[in-house]
Structure 1
């Protein structure tokens, strides 16, 4: 179970790691075989269904995304939490509003993530 304090800590660490462009720090929050879904994966032609599985595949995608959006900076607005899930509402690239859904395993690592954008 994710406590409110753990949810807030995760969100702040996640945003700080992205703002530092530190993929190792971002990926430290995930299981080795986590699954990621995002319309950006589809738009960038990385995967036809907008999904990737595994840290290395997601790392490759995020490296391309950081190269494309070299001025990437996230602004955290809200952190919502439930039993084993967290949703982070933030401003993403190009001023897009984003809500990222994270499902956590029993070890407190993310095994599934889904990005939602306006």
Structure 2
């Protein structure tokens, strides 16, 4: 089972990677075949159904998003920890409230993440 130290470090690193706009650093947190869902993805790519799978698909989607939003910055509000799961509550795009739910493998890599927003 992942511990409090892991979750604190993960949240700090995940936010820092996004705020640095460092795509490879961001992707380093994820399993090669992870699943991701997001209402933003559903809006900008309706054919996706709001879901993607794997680092290659995420790299393509997130690289476009980072290029389009050079001002993107995430600000931590709260970190909620579960059993090999976590929720990061933060301010994201245009300072809107967001939360992302993560499921981790035993190796600490993200197997699944689900973004939520206003």
The answer on 1:79 being equivalent to 2:83 is no
For 2:112 and 2:51, the matched residues in 1 are separated by 10
Structure 2: runs of 5+ lacking an equivalent? none
Find the counterpart in structure 2 of residue 22 from structure 1. 22
For 2:71 and 2:48, the matched residues in 1 are separated by 26
Q: CA deviation at 1:5?
A: 1.4
- Work out whether residues 2 and 106 of structure 2, in 8 Å CA contact, stay in contact via their aligned partners in 1: no
Structure 1 runs, 4 residues or longer, greater than 2 Å off: none
For 1:53 and 1:92, the matched residues in 2 are separated by 22
Structure 1: runs of 5+ lacking an equivalent? none
For 1:30 and 1:46, the matched residues in 2 are separated by 24
TM-score (norm 2): 0.96
TM-score (norm 1): 0.96
- Work out whether residues 41 and 47 of structure 1, in 8 Å CA contact, stay in contact via their aligned partners in 2: no
Aligned-residue Cα RMSD (Å) equals 1.0
